[in-house]
Structure 1
Amino acid sequence: MTNHKLAKKINIIIQRHVEFYKQEKYILEKIANRKLKLDIDKANYELEMVKDNRNEKDVRDSYNILNDFLIDNLTRKINLLKTFKDSTVFEPQLIAVDVNLETLKDINIKNSVFNKVGVIKVKDFTTTKNNYNAIIITLISSIIGMIFGCLIVLIRYVFKKQ
């Protein structure tokens, strides 16, 4: 395979990964935006609940002071969330996807040169010589083992009779 073909194949693989990470980034950004919108909606709902529960009869009541404090804080929270630009707070996986995209975009294979690597094949490598030796060793060991086994049985038989 030539260097040009190999570089082309590697570039195709890299391009597939880039497309995959772009899609993943798009999905994660949509999820993060929905989480942000959900947080804003929750804060708006909480603000409306606190405003509805506010008792306007007595302004010095500690309950009303707490409600005013909550209204102020919820208003600040909503304003902060509306100006929020960083989606990685809601989806931390976006950081990894961005890093992978930047890394893949920095790879340049076009000017690379690949060296050929050869594999040495050993012909006529047979194990038949070793198999014959193993068979002979096994047979001799079995015969010697049977002889010793029979001798031990015979010696025990002789000494038992006496």
Structure 2
Amino acid sequence: MKHSRRAADAAESSATAAEQSVVETRRSSDAAERSAVAAEETLGDQRREAAERRQAEEEANRPRAKLHIEHRDKAVWELINHGTAAAENVRCLDAPGARDEWPADLSLAAGDVYAFMMAGSMQERVPSVLRVVWDGQDEPVLLRVPPRSS
């Protein structure tokens, strides 16, 4: 009877240990699953951030037109593209007034120069700024008109 009691106690202890082992295994499995989910989310965040960085770098390195106005001589001014891309169909939003009319299809490749005339009068001065747009640049760009050099 003593042996059967010990055997019963041992069986009960073994069953309790097996139950605890199952509980621990479930806890470990749940923790591993949470860890895997967290790792997937982190990897997803890293991929998204890398894609955003790559997109920002591509945008920053994208060729762009960069227009400036310089005074050449007397009433002659130059519209210069200092950028790395062409400015197609450049339009000045300000009425010609003191400046001559630009061609409707004015395009400037990178490094190109377009000479035009502006002359002030008593009624109308040479403007200090011209508002310009071109294909792909719908918001007006304000180009400062430098003072005439002597």
TM-based fold match above 0.5: no
Higher relative contact order (CA 8 A, sep 6+): 1
> Shorter chain as normaliser: what TM range?
0.3 to 0.5
Q: Give the structure with the higher percent strand.
A: 2
TM-score scaled by length of structure 1 = 0.34
Larger radius of gyration: 1
- Structure 2 length as normaliser, TM-score? 0.37
Structure with higher helix content:
1
